Structure 1
Amino acid sequence: MSAPAPAAGQPITMGAGNKLNVPDHPIVPFIEGDGTGRDIWRASVRVLDAAVEKAYGGKKKIAWHEVYAGEKAFTQFNNWLPDQTIEDFKKYLVGIKGPLTTPIGGGIRSLNVALRQMLDLYVCLRPVRWFEGVPSPVKNPGSVDMVIFRENTEDIYAGVEFEAGSDDVKQVLAFIKEKFPKSFSKIRFPETTAIGIKPVSREGSERLAREAIKYALVNGRKSVTFVHKGNIMKFTEGAFMKWGYDLAEREFGDKVYTWQTWEKTKAAKGEEAANAEQKAALAGGKILIKDAIADITLQQVLTRPKEFDVIATLNLNGDYLSDALAAQVGGIGIAPGGNVNYTTGHAIFEATHGTAPKYADLDKVNPGSVVLSGEMML
C-alpha cells in the first residue's frame, strides 16, 4: 500500500550516540496530503530539491518515496492509514507530510495524532519567529523568537474517552461512584456526562523536559519555561512542572538555575539571597528554568514576548500556544513543525495548517509551512 521504494536510494539509519547516518541518496517517505496538500507538495518538493542541489553541488539528492494516508489512501485502499505507511516511516526513520483530513465529532480519529502515537514521536517541535515583510497583527513581531516543545503522546490527546449515555461511560461512572464518592459528587450532571481521561506520566514529562533543556544548551538559549495549569490540575499539570524541575536539577544541575532552587534558597536565607544567587548563576552562563501558568502565558507572549525563549508544555496547552504564537508572526500557513523521537531517530515533519479543500487545485495556498518544515528536516 505504498509506491515501491526508489531503487537508487538508501535508508537513513541510527548510529552510535543516537546520531543519524545519512547516505548521499536518502530515501525519505512523504505523504502528499489532502485538499491543498497536493498543490503545496508540488511547490515544496521543487524548493527542497533545489536546496539540496545548491548545498551539495549535485553530489547528494533525496530519493522521495510516496506513502499514503488520508483521503488518497482511503480512495485507493479503503484504509485511512495503511499499515505499510507506518512500516515505511519506521524503516526509513525521517519523513515529511502535508495536511490530513480529520472529521469533527465522529468517524476516524486524527491521523496526525495516530502517526505521532504509533511512532512514539513524543516531541512536537515548533519554532516560532517572524520573517521580515510578513503581515502581522502585533506591533513588534520581531520580538517573537521562541521554540515550543509540546508533549505529543499523552494528555487528553491520548483519546481515552467514553461517550455520554454509552454502556462504557456508565461503567466508568459506576466505578467512580463506588470507589471515589467524593470525586463523583463533583460531576454536575452524571446522567448525561461524557468522560475523558488525562494521562500524564513522569517518564513522558521527563523525556520532554530533557530534550527542551538539551536544545536550549546546544543552541545558546537563555531560558526554558514549563507552561502548565498546575494551579487547577495539581496531580497532572502540577506534576509535569515538578518532574521537569527535578530532572533539570538532577541531570543538568551544573548548567541550569531553577525557580525551584530559588524558592528553597528564599525559604532558607531570604528573598534577597535568592535573587543574588539567581543573578550570579545567570551571569555565569547558566540557563534559567522557570514555569508559567498557561492562561497568563497566552497573554504574556503577546505583551512580553522577549521573556520567553524555549517553552516545554503538555499536549493541549502546546496546541493552543503554538497556534496563537504562529498568528503573531503571520499565521499557521507559514508555521513549520516536526514530530520527533530523539531516542529512536524517528521524525515526521509536517504542515501545521489544515487542508483548506475549497482552495484545492487552484495553486493559491502558500507552501511556506511545508517548505520550512522541510528546512527543519534537512
Structure 2
Amino acid sequence: MNTNRIAVLPGDGIGPEVMAEGVKVLKALAEADSSFQLEMTSFEWNSDYYLKHGRMMPEDGLTTLKNFDAIFFGALGDRRIPEHIPIWELIMPIRKNFNQYVNLRPIKQLPGVKSPLHTEGPIDFYVFRENAEGEYSNMGGRLYQQMPEEIAIQNTVITKKGVQRLARYAFDYARRNDVTKVVNATKSNAIIHSMGLWDESVKAIAAEYPGIEVEDAYIDALAAHFVQRPESFEVIVASNLFGDILSDLGAALVGGLGLSPSANLNPEGDFPSMFEPVHGSAPDIAGKQAANPIAQIWSAALMLEHLGRKDLSAVVMKAIEQVVASATTLTPDLKGNARTFETGDTIVKQIHQQM
C-alpha cells in the first residue's frame, strides 16, 4: 500500500490558520479509510524565514520538495518584505522548476451561495491557465533608473510547445466530460505576435478533437461576458495573466476568494504538483480565526483527485457543499459568524458521517 507523501507549506498571515483545517481534513480521511496512507511534512518557508535567512527557502529546497508526491501550499505575503519576493523566490521557482504548466481553477457556485449577478442557471466552469511562461516571465529589465528617461521592458514569452500542452490538457478534460465548446481567451487583434502564436497553437490542438468547438474570445469582451452570462461557460483556456484575472473575476461571481481553490499541475508526474487557495495571506485578519478555510480544503480535494483518490475527493466536496448549504458555520466573508476552526470542524464532522 503506497503512502502519499505531502509537503505542507503553511506560509504567512492566514495561511497557517486555513492550512490547519486542510490538514485536519486530510487526517480525518486517513483515519476513516485505512487504504489512504498519509505522511505530511511541514516546512516553515515563509516571510519569517526570509527575514532570518535572507531567502525564502534553503538552497536545496527544490531538491527536498522533489521527493514528495504533492505540495500543499497555504498563502504568502508579509508587509515587512516587498510583495514580489515571496512570489519570485518561492512560488515561481516551484511552478517553473517543477514544470507545473497547468493552473486549474474551478469556478463553481455551491448550493446556498448567491451570486451578485442574476443568472439563468448555476455557474460551473474551469479556467485552464498556462502556468510556466506567458506574461509572468522574468525577462526584461529597467534602464536609467531614477532618471527622467527611465525605461522598463517586460517580455512576454509564448512558445508553441507551452500553449499546445496546456490546450491538449484542457481539450482532454473537455472530451472526458462531454464538453462541446472550449473558449480561447485571446487579444490577437492587438497583441499580434505573442497572441497570434497563442491562437494558432490552440487551434492546432483543437483540430485533433472533432466534435469540440473552439471559440476565440477577446479578453475584454470575455470579461464582460463573465458578468452578462457566466453560466454559459464550461472550459476556458487562457494565458498566465489572462487566466489569473479571469479566475479572480470568476471567484467574485461565486462567493469570493474564500471559495476559490487551485491546482498547479505537472500532468506527466515527473515532479510533484502543488495545490493552494487563490486568496492571499490577508494580514488584516491574520490570527483572528476569521478566514474562510474552504478554499484550502477544496484545494485538498483537487490534490486527492490528482493522487488518484477521486472517491475521497468526492467525499470532501460533498462535505463542503453540505456545510455551505446549511449556512450554520460559515465565516464572515459568507455572512456568517463562525471561526475558521469551527468551519473546519463541521466539514470534518460531515466527512465522518459519510464514511
TM-score (norm 2): 0.78
Q: Is structure 2 residue 325 aligned with structure 1 residue 347?
A: no
Rounded to whole Å, the distance in 1 between the matches of 2:220 and 2:272 is 32
Write the distance in 2 (CA, Å) between the matches of 1:135 and 1:87.
Answer: 44
CA separation of 1:49/1:222 partners in 2, compared to 1, >3 Å: closer, same or farther?
Answer: farther
CA distance 1:298–1:162, change in 2 (3 Å): same
Q: Secondary structure at the match of 1:338?
A: strand
Question: Which residue does the alignment assign to 1:119?
Answer: 98
1:134-145 equivalent positions in 2, closer than 5 A: 134-140=113-119, 143-145=122-124
- Post-superposition Cα deviations, 1:237-259, rounded to whole Å, max 9, x if no partner, equal 1210111101221xx2xx42xxx
- C-alpha change, 1:195 and 1:326, in structure 2 (3 Å) is same
Q: CA RMSD in A?
A: 2.3
Structure 2 unaligned runs (5+)?
305-355
Instruction: Please tell me whether the aligned partners of residues 116 and 253 of structure 2 are also in contact (alpha carbons under 8 angstroms).
Output: yes
Deviates more, 1:89-98 or 1:100-109: 100-109
Distance (whole Å) between structure 1 residues aligned to residue 245 and residue 54 of structure 2: 33
* Aligned CA distance change for structure 1 residues 109 and 42 (closer, same or farther; 3 Å): closer
Give the distance between the partners of 2:250 and 2:56, measured in 1 at CA.
31
Q: Does 1:294 find its partner at 2:239? A: no
Where 1:157 maps in the other structure, the secondary structure is coil
CA distance in 2, matches of 1:93, 1:299: 39
Matches within 5 A, 1:171-320: 191-249=149-207, 252=208, 255-256=209-210, 286-320=211-245
Take 1:156 and 1:292, find their aligned partners in 2: how far apart are those partners? 18
| Per-residue deviation, 1:108 | 5.8
Once structures 1 and 2 are overlaid, which stretch shifts more, 313-322 or 23-32?
A: 23-32
Q: CA deviation at 1:68?
A: 3.7
The corresponding residue for 2:302 is 376
1:130/1:141 contact within 8 Å kept = no
What amino acid is the match of 1:212? A
CA shift digits 1:52-91 (9 cap, x unpaired): 433x2x3423111112422243256442122333123211
Shift, 1:290, TM fit: 1.9
CA distance in 1, matches of 2:254, 2:58: 36
Could you tell me which amino acid in structure 2 is paired with residue 42 of structure 1? A
Q: Does the 8 Å contact 1:116/1:339 carry over to 2?
A: yes
| Contact residue 15 and residue 74 of structure 2 kept, 8 A | yes
CA distance in 2, matches of 1:91, 1:106: 27
Q: 1:349 to 1:158 in 2, by over 3 A?
A: same
Q: Quick one: which of 68, 86, 89 aligns to 1:92?
A: 68
Verify: 1:44 aligned to 2:22, yes or no: yes
Deviations 1:135-178 (A, max 9, x none): 431123953111111001112211213124249xx9xxxxxxxx
**Structure label with greater radius of gyration:** 1
Provide the rounded CA distance (Å) in 1 between the counterparts of 2:36 and 2:151: 57
The aligned amino acid for 1:74 is Y
- 1:35 aligned to 2:13? yes
Q: Distance in 2 between matches of 1:109 and 1:38?
A: 17
> Hey, what's the Cα distance between the residues in 1 that align with 2:42 and 2:13?
17
**Alignment correspondent of 1:60:** 36
Q: Percent of aligned pairs with the same residue?
A: 29
Distance between the aligned counterparts of 2:272 and 2:20, measured in 1?
Answer: 24
